[in-house]
Amino acid sequence: MQDIKQFVESGQIARFPGGIHPPERKQPASEQPLRRIPYANELILPLRQHIGVSGQCTVREGDHVLKGQPLTDAVLHQGLPLHAPTSGTVKAIEQRPMSHASGLPEQAIVISPDGHDQWRERQPLPDYQQRDKAELLDIIQAAGVAGLGGAGFPTSQKLAQQKPVSYLIINGVECEPYICADDRLMREHARDIVLGMRILAYITGADKTLLAIEDNKPEAIASMHQAISEYSDIELRVVPTKYPSGGEKQLIQLLTGHEVPSKQLPIEMGVIMQNVGTAFAVKEAVIDDKPLIERVVTLTGECIEHPGNVWAPLGTPVDALLDFAGFKPEQQQRVIMGGPMMGFTLPITAVPVIKTTNCILVPSTEELPPPGDEMACIRCGACAEVCPASLQPQQLQWLAKAKDYPALEDNNLFDCIECGACAFVCPSEIPLVHYYRQAKSQIRNQAREQAKAELAKQRFEARQARLEREKEERLERHRKAAEARKQMQQQKAQDAPEQESNNDGKSSAVAAAIARAKAKKAAQEGGSAGSEASDEATTQPRPAQDKSAAVAAAIARAKKKKQARDQEDKQ
Amino acid sequence: MSFVVGLIAIGALALIFGLILGFAAIKFKVESDPIVDQIDEILPQTQCGQCGYPGCRPYAEAIANGDEINKCPPGGETTIKKLADLMGVEAKPLDAAHGEESVKKVAIIREDECIGCTKCIQACPVDAILGAAKQMHTVIEHECTGCDLCVEPCPVDCIDMVEVEAKPETWQWNLDSVKQNIHKADTIPVKLVE
């Protein structure tokens, strides 16, 4: 910790291992001022925009929404809400292809703008210092601000770490070729970014804010330098141009002289990093009450007539962006989302701009030739020299091909930041990063399967136990029933000899019945006081007798029974 | 004399160590065979019985007793490899007599055809089917292991085994498809824009 402090205070810039110097190609896009793109016919907002859980949809088809109105509800601070980029109606909530290399469909809210661009009620908050930090975090969360540099991690979650922060690093490095969205933002909105930095510093309680910019952006450096001049606790650090200096761990190493340990977060070192775009979004969210509904996207490549940076409302289809910039496709045109190193070729262009989309690259075949055929690894070691994470790319590649997943984890595959430097220098044109991505998802899948197997095992065992228990219970019931039967039989056997004397139980009832029958017979034979009607009724019953006769007969029967009983008693 | 002393000393030591060992044998007794647990851990726990044993654990016991390791189609190549590592034997290709490794599947009941006979519920090894007599049954999808055991007992054949859909989280970067996408015009509409 002390070492880090000393290093940072000295103002030095360290080095990180590896790295490459690909052609930058930031011009001509970086020289065009930011433009606004008209709203597309429909804005597609996938429910999931970033790592983590997607929110619960709070609007229905046909609803009218206002600009900035939340469309989803974050579940327990896990995810981020999504907002309407402009006013309009919810046209559909349906499956649309997502902005992912797979192009798989995903649930999305489709909005057709009404052209009024009517805002919801806003509550600007210029005096954020009067507010509690937790309240500001809630505002940032409710505004849906995600890290705009790369993975799109929810900013409020990153800021909510309960650990002391010495340095807040604002990342304006933007090291990937072609991309110049942050560059343009810094040139044109330096003051807003600095305000955002102040808010971030206030929330994190950082002692000092370091703003890092690569030395190939002199205009951005000049404009930011001027904007921060009035603040003594913000320092500008110009880092030499090298790819991937903008990686979180790489930039921390450059500025602090210390490597972020494997499987640890920068916060353990007392450092937190945010992108300049995120700082801008935080300022808009807190001070202007404007949620994250648009972002700067670089439109570049030789197959675009007017390259430049645009403010793209989230949900704008890539098609619309291409039309706006003058798309002149060649045969088998590739459209890449992201930069040439870390981006991916889009399977279809109907996908929307999401919170993490920083660039749409439409290269011609000459400037970015499609990958050649993969050749065998010649073990030249060039990849190991350029790896910024000090891994052994060739080793990882062999292990990935052999599907030796435990060994891949031992070789720290998960420290790979997928920067693509190894694939860039590979003379055999091996798509190394693809192998790593494949292996990573395979390992994650296996972990999922493992968890599922464990669950299945538990359920199977629970079922076995239940079946066993039921069987035992059944047996127990059978045993008890058998026992009861046995007991009864025994009792019967005991009862038989003393039938006469014993007056309770079944046998006595039988004896009584026999006695009654005997008495009846005796009564009939005796012919004592029996009426004619009763005799008729008992000996020859007539089906078609009238009711009164039947009643009379019944009474007579009852009397006779009583008589018989009396007689029995007398006996 | 010293000979006798030596004898007594050794004898006493033998007695003491014997007691310690005897105590340890009782105190640290291992209930089940640990190798069976380890094998069971590797098996996919679909409890499908394709190996010919009634469940994963019986098969694990059989492997521990020297049965072949290549009888588990749901586990496939990866499981065989892990078992080979654990048992110190050569990995073999999957025994085709017990089935082939196929894509992950999940059982789906066509609910309007279900007559509520509960036969599938009794067949399900992981209690993943919900229902009661003369009531419609349904599969709890995320608990289903895709073992196929419920399909056979159904008297009205209303259970389908459906491939598990790829989700962004489970999606694989497939090198072939990435290359194809770049060269094939019909799978990639980007190229149709002219």
Residue A476: phi and psi, rounded to 5, are -60, -45
pLDDT of residue A547: 67
Q: Find the CB nearest A329 among B172, B188, B194.
A: B194
A104 and B167 in contact by Cβ < 8 A? Answer: yes
Is A74's pLDDT higher than 80? no
A333 and B56 within 8 Å at the Cβ level: the answer is no
Q: Which residue of B has its CA nearest to A329?
A: B194
User: Per-residue pLDDT tens for A333-343?
Assistant: 889 998 888 88
Q: What pLDDT digit, counting tens, does each position of B83-125 carry?
A: 888 888 888 888 888 877 777 888 999 989 999 999 999 989 8
Secondary structure of A399-466 as H, E, C letters: HHHCCCHHHHHHCCHHHCCCCCHHHHHCCCCCCHHHHHHHHHHHHHHHHHHHHHHHHHHHHHHHHHHH
Cα–Cα distances in Å, from A69 out to A117, A207, B130? 12, 36, 41
Among positive and negative, which fits the CA dihedral A387, A392, A393, A396? negative
Instruction: Indicate left, alpha or beta for A138 from its phi (over 0: left) and psi (-120 to 50: alpha).
Output: alpha
CB neighbours of residue B99 within 10 Å: 16
> What distance in Å separates the CA atoms of residue A296 and residue A277, rounded to the nearest whole number?
8
Residues A483, A465: Cα–Cα separation, whole Å: 26
Interface contact flag, A463 B183, Cβ < 8 Å:
no
Give the whole-number percent of chain A exceeding pLDDT 70: 92
Q: Which of A31-40, A447-456, B181-190 has the highest mean pLDDT?
A: A31-40
Under a CB-based contact definition with an 8 Å cutoff, are residues A44 and A108 in contact?
A: yes
Give the ipTM of the model, two decimals please: 0.73
Distances (CA, A) of A446 to A441, A453, B42: 8, 10, 11
Query: Rounded mean pLDDT of chain B?
Result: 82
Q: How far apart are CA A423 and CA A433, in angstroms?
A: 7
Helix/strand/coil for B105 = strand
In which region does residue A283 sit, left (phi positive, over 0), alpha (psi from -120 to 50) or beta (all else)? alpha
Residues of chain A neighbouring B145 (CB-CB closer than 8 A): 452, 456
CA B49 to chain centre: 10
Cis peptide before A164 (omega within 30 of 0): no
How far is residue B102's CA from residue A29's CA, in Å, rounded to a whole number? 49
- Where residue A450 falls among pLDDT bands split at 50, 70, 90? confident
The residue of chain B nearest to residue A406, with distances taken between CA atoms, is B82
Task: Please name each of the domains of chain B with its CATH number.
Answer: 34-98 (1.10.15.40), 105-194 (3.30.70.20)
Q: Which chain A residues contact residue B183 at CB under 8 A?
A: 332, 370
Of the pLDDT bands very low, low, confident and very high (cuts 50, 70, 90), residue B79 is: confident
> CA angle at residue A15 from A230 to A234, to 5 degrees?
10
What are the distances in angstroms from CA A286 to CA A59, A200, A327, A515?
24, 10, 37, 102
Contact A55, A79 (CB under 8 A): yes
- pLDDT score recorded for residue B139: 92
Chain A hits for B179, CB-CB cut-off 8 Å, are 371
With 50 as the cut, is the pLDDT of residue A538 above it? Answer: no
Dist. CA A20–CA B96, nearest whole Å: 50
Find the residue in A nearest to B174 (Cα).
Answer: A438
- Show the DSSP H helices in A308-431 as ranges: 318-325, 382-386, 393-401, 405-410, 421-425
Share of chain A above pLDDT 90, in %: 50
H helices of A296-402, where?
318-325, 382-386, 393-401
Task: Convert the pLDDT of each residue in A268-303 to its tens digit.
Answer: 889 999 999 999 999 999 999 999 999 999 999 999
From chain A, the residues in CB contact with B184 under 8 A are none
